[in-house]
Amino acid sequence: LSREELVQRVKQLEAHVKQLQNVISKEPTSFVRKQKQFDFKRFKRRHVLLKFLYLGWLYDGYVVQEDTANTVEAVLFEALLRTKLVECRETSNYHRCGRTDKGVSAFSQTISIDLRTNLTDGLGVITPDNYTPDAKSENRTKEIEYVRILNGVLPPEIRVLAWAPVDPTFSSRFDCKRRMYRYFFPQGNLDLERMKQGAALLVGEHDFRNLCKMDVGNGVTNFVRVILSTRLYKVTKHENSDECNVGYTMWCLEIVGQAFLWHQIRCIVAVLFLIGRRLEEPEIISDLLDIEKNPRKPQYSMASEIPLVLYDCQFEGIDWEYSVEELTMVTKQLQRMWTQMQVKSEILYSMLLDITTVPCMSETSVTSQADTLQPGTMPRVYKPLLERPLCESLEER
């Protein structure tokens, strides 16, 4: 286009813009109804426990983080705020029982928190300083259906299971008596009896600095913890499995303790896997727990986070409120997800079985099912844990 043509084109566009502006200015402005602000002063609060599950592999951890909104805690508080069960987190008297890292799931995560209540008295009911009842306050005798309301706005991979009223001083963190973790894995080429022997050595009070990730930055300098019990048991076995396919049998390591350190379970599982692969003796657990003999942690990779579940948080004297209707809905939702995953799993399993029937594979047995849960490449020549380079000691951090 020539200069004159370009100037003419610009003038046409400017005229069209002005025409559109005139059209917009003549359109009646749509009326926006101002949302009425919820009056929390009309309600008392109630200190309760909430028990819920979540599938951690979809989230970047449980605890709220500055660099991502994709955490379970962030989604949970978004639901609490949206349903007007809390006015803000800062005044909610909130405690969590456990904090799980990215990829880790939970079945009975428990929080204690002050929620809006319909009642004016009862266990856990608190009268705020600014409480201003209205004419309807005394007539509200049925408690809010916390589970139904929250599950109505939470995503399907986070489900509230039950609630319970508790004393206002009760803390889900400090009043928890014991916590149970479960770690699921396929048998593969692992020697389960050796792993059971190693797991048994964990029971009791020990210094676990060599079987965790030191969190000195957050002020953790005491690494003594109590393991109450360990159990290694078979979960499932394919009906069509024979001696050649025993590697697909699923197992679970269950560890019960009073409290746990950062990455403690994943470090424990990593060492138990080395024992199961006959690369370490079961007694390596005792060696790592002996901080006089081994004050510095040898370098090794943690086991995968995906199979780990905070499975239970146990308290004394709690009367949980369950709903058949809500648990039925949760069951249907979990069954839907289970079906989708199980169908895919069976398709893979069928393919794997048929590969073994190929004539050239008749003398070959591949049992690497558990390898994927042990990140990193296994060196051609294995170096024992106690001969490896060491991490910094507690005093050096």
Q: Contact 134/42 with Cβ under 8 angstroms?
A: yes
Q: Contact 94/103 with Cβ under 8 angstroms?
A: no
- Active-site pick, 60, 101, 191, 371: 101
Residue spans of beta strands (DSSP E) within the chain: 44-54, 95-96, 105-117, 125-126, 158-165, 178-186, 204-207, 224-236, 250-257, 308-314
Distance of alpha carbon 313 from alpha carbon 97, whole angstroms: 7
Q: Contact 293/132 with Cβ under 8 angstroms?
A: no
Beta-carbon neighbour count of residue 125 at 10 Å? 16
Q: Contact 45/116 with Cβ under 8 angstroms?
A: yes
Q: Contact 201/230 with Cβ under 8 angstroms?
A: no
C-alpha dihedral, 258 to 199 to 180 to 100, nearest 10°: 90
Query: Which of these, 60, 75, 45, 43, lies nearest to 160 by C-alpha position?
Result: 75
Query: Is-catalytic flag, 101?
Result: yes
Beta-carbon neighbour count of residue 167 at 10 Å? 12
Catalytic residues: 101
